Amino acid sequence: MKICGLVGSPKKNGNVDLLVSQVLKGAMSQGAKMQKIYLNDLHVKPCQSCGVDPHPKYCLFDDDMQLIYNALESNDVIVLGSPVYFDTVSAQVKLVIDRCNCLMP
């Protein structure tokens, strides 16, 4: 089993990072291979809702979102952690969610 943790907080070693790390630690104790990605370290452009089919790529933009697409393809489990800002996810997580728009049929 492969598991990837996405840390949506800008604070490394903060509460969200620690919670995601604990989930990954538990999975590793059961033999899973893990990867952790700090979304704040990535350069992800906002979705432009272009509606263009970028086949064979996921998106017309060539940025760090490719790391997320690869993680979604190659992992069995994705753990997403985010702080709550104004009753929603962080800007880092929102960028990633919006860029997954191209994964819809």
Tell me how far apart the alpha carbons of residues 99 and 85 are, in angstroms, rounded to a whole number. Answer: 20
- Model confidence pLDDT, tens digit, residues 12-57: 999 999 999 999 999 999 999 999 999 999 999 999 988 877 788 8
Q: What is the pLDDT of residues 64-90, one digit of tens each?
A: 999 999 999 999 999 999 999 999 999
pLDDT-derived band of residue 103, with 50, 70 and 90 as boundaries? confident
In the Cβ-directed half-sphere of 86, how many Cα atoms lie within 13 Å?
3
**Domains in the chain with CATH codes:** 2-103 (3.40.50.360)
User: 4: how many CB neighbours lie within 10 A of its CB?
Assistant: 23
State CA 41 to chain mean position distance: 11
pLDDT for residue 58: 85
Is the Cα torsion angle 15, 19, 20, 22 positive or negative in sign? positive
